[in-house]
């Protein structure tokens, strides 16, 4: 018989919602299934996916809370008289953030309604090629059929199951943003940007925070930039336990948690107690309960992610996938949204434009932010050879830090270019305040094939941090001092 819907999207997150809403614009019959399996600690949330509920949004807001803490300190240098002591209330912040997130959940539901997209709060799984079985929390079943299906179920934080007590006593980012009470003295083992960002803002709001890392921070990112970021965090007050990994977590009588770990440098075993242990060991794709084998959608055996081609199609022609669930794609909201929209435009809007995953700009919202676009220095060297690239760099001091008497040791910019005559820019890296705002426009320039000479012809806006990028002229090769002096 005829399929009920033209498009069924499983997963109401960044990618899924963008795809569904775009398809609806073309007058198609669209449905979205969204369901949140509670975390092991019992946390759950509404429509919108990871970004809205337990990702970018609450993270940036809490990061902002921490930045405002620094602003309070700066303000005194600028003449503002604030009586000490100054306290931070987790519950005031958390409630404000959670209320805002809930307003977004509501906003998404209203939008779907406005665009006449049918929304099911159900967990979906494949019954056959065009049929999805949806299950509500109460166990009620609904069958939905569709011509085209998009899987956008995203991922969830992993637990290090090999560590005793990890599951029972630890939390993840899924829980952190919904805590009603302060997490207190916190340990975040392993180091993806999530854990650094969280450790950063927890430190900023005054909590005793420790990051534990086995090897390198921010794997996959430019390592020189990554170490500047962590160096800053150390001077900011975050404790680092380097070259260590946890072996067990136990609960004490006081209800605190005792963590035991191995220090690989010293070969010793150490323990300490914390109020909270937040795991950030990576995310696993949410595919287990989808029943993909029934319909033959292939996944990567190692990562579990769904394999797609350049048009977001899976191994089954009418089944597509976008977002964090797809293999080889950046785990970012804007790419998921763009991919979802373009997919809908190709399916229903006569477009043939494919998603361009190259040169996607991104920002790590650590206390001193790190924005980047393009290749890391090591990737450029690997790709072209160190003789064929030129790296321009500078240490600068944001004007606002001067009166505030803030140290700017890690405020640093690096631009990796091809060495040949045109000097096309391969990668741009910026550490400093408002890194995201700075990098965005340059990301656009790089998409246009910007070269070093073109950037140098661009006049700077004064006084900003971003203008330092247009003034880069010291190369690493020259060995000259790269500290910016004077106006």
Binding site for FAD: what residues are annotated?
60, 124, 324
Least distance in angstroms from the C-beta of 81 to another protein: 5
- Of 61 and 474, nearer to another protein (C-beta) is 61
462 is catalytic: yes
Least distance in angstroms from the C-beta of 439 to another protein: 6
Smallest CA-to-CA distance from 233 within 399, 94, 394, 63 is with 63
- Residues flagged as binding site: 60, 124, 282, 324
- Asked if 153 and 287 touch (Cβ cutoff 8 Å), the reply is yes
Say how far apart CA 232 and CA 237 lie, in whole Å.
9
Least distance in angstroms from the C-beta of 73 to another protein: 10
Say how far apart CA 51 and CA 332 lie, in whole Å.
9
- Of 100 and 268, nearer to another protein (C-beta) is 100
Least distance in angstroms from the C-beta of 435 to another protein: 9
Least distance in angstroms from the C-beta of 353 to another protein: 8
Segment (H or E) for 119: strand 118-120
Give just the sign of the alpha carbon dihedral 476, 481, 484, 487. Answer: negative
CA 127 to chain centre: 33
Smallest CA-to-CA distance from 446 within 395, 371, 394, 384 is with 371
Q: Which tokens sit at 122?
A: 């159900």
Catalytic residue among 88, 130, 393, 462: 462
Strands 186-189 and 209-213: parallel
Q: Which DSSP category does 451 fall into?
A: B
Say how far apart CA 58 and CA 197 lie, in whole Å.
11
- Of 83 and 138, nearer to another protein (C-beta) is 83
How many angstroms separate the Cα of 141 from the Cα of each of 138, 292, 293?
A: 9, 19, 21
Say how far apart CA 444 and CA 447 lie, in whole Å.
5
Q: Which DSSP category does 177 fall into?
A: T
Active-site residue set:
462
């Amino acid at each position: 018989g005829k399929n009920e819907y033209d498009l069924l999207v499983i997963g109401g997150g960044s990618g899924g919602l963008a795809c569904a809403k775009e398809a609806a614009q073309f007058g198609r019959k669209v449905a979205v299934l969204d369901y949140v399996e509670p975390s092991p600690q019992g946390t759950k949330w509404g429509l919108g996916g990871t970004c809205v509920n337990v990702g970018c949004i609450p993270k940036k807001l809490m990061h902002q809370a921490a930045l405002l803490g620094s602003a309070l300190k700066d303000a005194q240098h600028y003449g503002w008289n604030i009586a000490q002591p100054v306290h931070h209330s987790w519950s005031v912040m958390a409630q404000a953030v959670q209320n805002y997130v809930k307003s977004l959940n509501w906003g998404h539901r209203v939008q779907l309604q406005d665009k006449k997209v049918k929304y099911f709060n159900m967990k979906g799984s494949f019954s056959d090629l065009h049929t999805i079985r949806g299950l509500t929390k109460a166990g009620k079943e609904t069958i939905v059929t569709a011509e085209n299906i998009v899987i956008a179920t995203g991922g969830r934080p992993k637990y290090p199951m090999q560590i005793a007590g990890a599951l029972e006593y630890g939390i993840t980012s899924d829980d952190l943003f919904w805590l009603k009470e302060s997490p207190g003295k916190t340990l975040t083992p392993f180091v993806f940007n999530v854990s650094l960002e969280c450790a950063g803002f927890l430190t900023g709001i005054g909590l005793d925070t420790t990051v534990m890392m086995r090897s390198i921070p921010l794997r996959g990112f430019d390592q020189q930039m990554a170490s500047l970021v962590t160096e800053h965090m150390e001077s900011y007050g975050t404790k680092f336990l380097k070259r260590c990994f946890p072996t067990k977590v136990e609960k004490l009588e006081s209800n605190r948690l005792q963590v035991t770990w191995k220090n690989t440098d010293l070969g010793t075993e150490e323990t300490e107690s914390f109020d909270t242990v937040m795991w950030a060991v990576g995310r696993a794709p949410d595919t287990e309960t989808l029943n993909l084998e029934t319909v033959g959608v292939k996944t990567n055996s190692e990562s579990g992610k769904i394999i797609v081609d350049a048009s977001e199609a899976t191994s089954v022609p009418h089944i597509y996938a976008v977002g964090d669930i797809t293999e080889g794609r950046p785990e970012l909201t804007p790419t998921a949204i763009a991919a979802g929209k373009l997919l809908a435009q190709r399916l229903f809007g006569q477009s043939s434009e494919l998603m361009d995953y190259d040169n996607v700009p991104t920002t790590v919202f650590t206390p001193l932010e790190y924005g980047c676009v393009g290749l890391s220095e090591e990737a450029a060297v690997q790709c072209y050879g160190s003789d064929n690239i030129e790296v321009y760099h500078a240490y600068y001091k944001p004007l606002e830090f001067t009166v505030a008497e803030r140290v700017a040791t890690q405020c640093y910019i690096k631009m990796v270019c091809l060495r040949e005559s045109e000097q096309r820019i391969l990668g741009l890296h910026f550490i400093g305040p408002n890194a995201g705002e700075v990098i965005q426009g340059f990301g656009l320039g790089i998409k246009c094939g910007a070269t070093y000479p073109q950037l140098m012809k661009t006049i700077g806006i004064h006084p900003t941090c971003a203008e330092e990028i247009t003034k880069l002229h010291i190369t690493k090769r020259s060995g000259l001092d790269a500290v910016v002096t004077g106006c």
